[in-house]
Amino acid sequence: MKKILILIFMCFLSQNIFANENLDKKAREINKKIRCVVCQSQSIDDSDSVLARDLRALIKEKLKEGKNEKEITNYLVERYGEFILLKPKFNSKTYFLWLTPIMIIIFGVFFIKGIFKKN
C-alpha cells in the first residue's frame, strides 16, 4: 500500500514538473518575441532590466491563467503598441518596412543584369 502511495505521489510530482517545464518553455518562446521597450534592441528574454523582468513574470502568470500567446501579445500591444513586438505585423503602417528589402533586391537584380547586358 505504501509503495503504491509513493508511486502515485511520484507520478503526480513528475506531472507537475513536466507541466512547469512546458510552461517555462512556452513563456521563453513568447519572451523572445517581445521587445524590451527600455533597451530597444533586445528582447525581454535577453534583457535584465526591471521592466523586462516584470514582463517575463507577467507572461508566465498569464500562461498559468490559461491565456494563449495571441491573447498575451494582444494585451501587450494594446498597452505598448506594436513597437513591443520584435517582429511587427504586416499592415498599412509597416508595409514599407517589410517591402523595402524585397524592393531593394529586385532593383539590385535588374541593375546588375543591366550592367552585364551592357558589357
Partner 1 sequence: MKYISLIIITAFIFICLFFGLNKKDQNLKSPLLNKPIPEINLNSLKNDKLNKNNFKNEIILVNFFASWCVPCIVEHNFLFELKKQKPIKIYGINYKDDVKNLEIWLKKLGNPYSKIGIDKTGITGINWGVNGIPESFLIDQNGIIIHKVNGIIDKKQIKILLSKIELLEK
Q: Which residues bind partner 1 (CB under 8 A)?
A: 37-38, 40, 50-51, 54-55, 58, 77-81, 83, 100, 104, 107, 111, 114
The cell for 8 is 502515485
CB 12 within 8 A of CB 26: no
Q: Which is nearer to partner 1, 22 or 87 (CB)?
A: 87
Q: How far is the CB of 117 from partner 1 (least distance, A)?
A: 11
Q: Which is nearer to partner 1, 90 or 111 (CB)?
A: 111
Amino acid at the residue 38: V
Q: What is the DSSP letter of 17?
A: H
Q: How far is the CB of 82 from partner 1 (least distance, A)?
A: 8
Q: Where does residue 94 rank: exposed (0-12), middle (13-18), buried (19+ CB within 10 A)?
A: middle
